Structure 1
Amino acid sequence: MDHVQPLHGAAEAIREFNHLSFPRPDQPPVLPYPGNAYDAIGAIKTLTQRLPQTFTQIGIALERLDNAGHLSAVHGTPFMHVTETQDLLRDAEDLAARLAAVLERAHSAVSPLSYSGPFEESE
């Protein structure tokens, strides 16, 4: 089983959303209602909130591989590269936590909005 595949799926989902939501002047908005923006921000916020655990688990996996003697390095030592990777992943955890906090505020900021434009009549 490829345990990394879900991460590729998440990256592809964001790419697809970016493609689908690209604003085109000749088409109606792809997020026609504030609730759509609320849901999009909420989904991205949830993804972001889960990143710190992901980063921690990647660092632990590398550490275990190194401790078991299953790593080699083209230059330097595996320990040196694992340690640097873990340090950088901790930085990424901090950034993800800050991003999640900002997205939480954006999610709250959009929540009072409601649609008051024209409604299409149903046939």
Structure 2
Amino acid sequence: MSTRNTDPTRHPSKAADAVRAFNHATLPTRTEPAIAYPGTIYSAIGSFASLAHRLPQAFDQIAGSLTDVHKAGHLTADHGTPTQHTTTAVAALRDAERLALALTDALERAHNASGPLGYCGPIDDTDDDL
């Protein structure tokens, strides 16, 4: 058992809530884009790239912890065997690691490509997207 005082699952839960809030804040309207300025888009992509970059380590640590708990004989299963479920979960987490690396690469390419872009349209001084 962990001797840590905080539940580590609160952190990815907060990250998921933050992405949800971003999605709600950036819903487009019928007349204008959700994010009007390229600098804001660039920053958002960079932040998502940073998030994606950190995911492989998180998935590796979860897989390692699950493996350790299984090897210690501390798992049971409602159906099947703990080994079956552990093997499947760890394999899926390894897949997630690889996909997160690919996501990171794609976001870094998008970030680099959006960096040189500037805005030349009208400026709305009441817009939050500054």
TM-score, length-scaled by structure 2? 0.86
Match in the other structure for 1:85:
89
Measure how far apart 1:29 and its partner are. Answer: 4.0
2:16 to 8, 11, 15: 11
**Partners of 1:23 and 1:116 in 2: how far apart?**
20
1:21 to 2, 26, 30: 26
Measure how far apart 1:120 and its partner are. Answer: 5.1
Count of aligned pairs between the two proteins:
121
Q: Given the superposition, is the C-alpha separation of residues 76 and 107 from structure 1 closer, same or farther in structure 2, using an over 3 Å criterion?
A: same
Q: Percent identity?
A: 47
Is 1:38 aligned with 2:42? yes
1:72 to 70, 73, 76: 76
Structure 1 stretches lacking a partner, 5+ long: none
Measure how far apart 1:37 and its partner are. Answer: 0.1
Match in the other structure for 2:3:
none
